[in-house]
Amino acid sequence: MNAPVIGNTPWTREEFEQQLRDKGRGYHIYHPFHVMMYEGKLSREQLQCWVANRFYYQISIPQKDAAIMSNCPDKEIRKGWIQRIIDHDGDANSVGGIEAWIQLGQAVDLSREDVTSLKFVTPGVRFAVDAYVNFAKQRPWQEAVCSSLTELFAPHIHQQRISSWPSMYPWVKEEGLVYFKKRLTEARRDVEQGLAVTLDYFSQTRELQEKALDILQFKLDVLWVIADAIMLASTDIKVENNVDYLRQPR
């Protein structure tokens, strides 16, 4: 007689949400580069490199969200989702996150052109960010929504920067923290919508629930690889004869 297949019963909605939240153990807050950032161990050049590279993520987020909307036939979801594009691009009443990130660049002594020209963006960061945008273009919109759920863990890392930078990097101008402060409330609101969609769409079977966890892992990997690439680009790794093999000649 066959035993019941207990392993395949779906988790309850609460258990499934907890499984998603548990993925926070792989968040890029634990990446050595972000740990060093929090502990005040980054050089001025390393912090500048991070800001210049992360700008490519910032400008790609609204394109990613527009891709989700273009694939979504549900008017009510689009009505909520469009706020994310406004948060980053701004509107008649507010400047938006992209402009706030340029202000962060200026706060770490980069020029507007240094940031917006993308001249410091390293290939690994481009590949990782483009993989995220392409995922949103090519996959069903509910899967792309699920991939945004790393935002569950983002308020913690934004708060770390708000708390630690003034003492660890006193040379950074105060206006630089505006972006992170803005995201504290925006990310919490985003997560409510993203989590509701994910719990509704993926809850029917255990296979779907596990697929959601895999999608979240893909996005955790995107963020991890971005940090790897920035660390490599901003850290002097000298090998034989002082040749820096790891920098791409341009």
To ligand PQQ, the closest distance from the beta carbon of 153 in angstroms equals: 6
> Per rule CB under 6 A, is residue 61 in the interface with ligand PQQ?
yes
Distance CA(113)–CA(128), nearest Å, equals 23
Q: Is 122 in the site for ligand PQQ (CB under 6 A)?
A: no
- 61 or 107, CB closer to ligand PQQ? 61
Residues in 151-210 that interact with ligand PQQ by CB under 6 A: 151, 154, 157, 183
Q: Compare residues 11 and 118 and give the one whose CB is closer to ligand PQQ.
A: 118
Question: Smallest gap, in angstroms, from Cβ of residue 100 to ligand PQQ?
Answer: 10
* Among the residue ranges 9-17, 102-110, 150-158, 203-211, the one whose residues contact ligand PQQ (CB under 6 A): 150-158
In the complex, minimum distance from the CB of residue 49 to ligand PQQ, in angstroms, rounded to a whole number = 15
* Interface with ligand PQQ, residue 148, by CB under 6 A: yes
Which residues inside 221-250 make contact with ligand PQQ, applying CB under 6 A? 223
Binding interface with ligand PQQ (CB under 6 A): 61, 148, 150-151, 154, 157, 183, 223
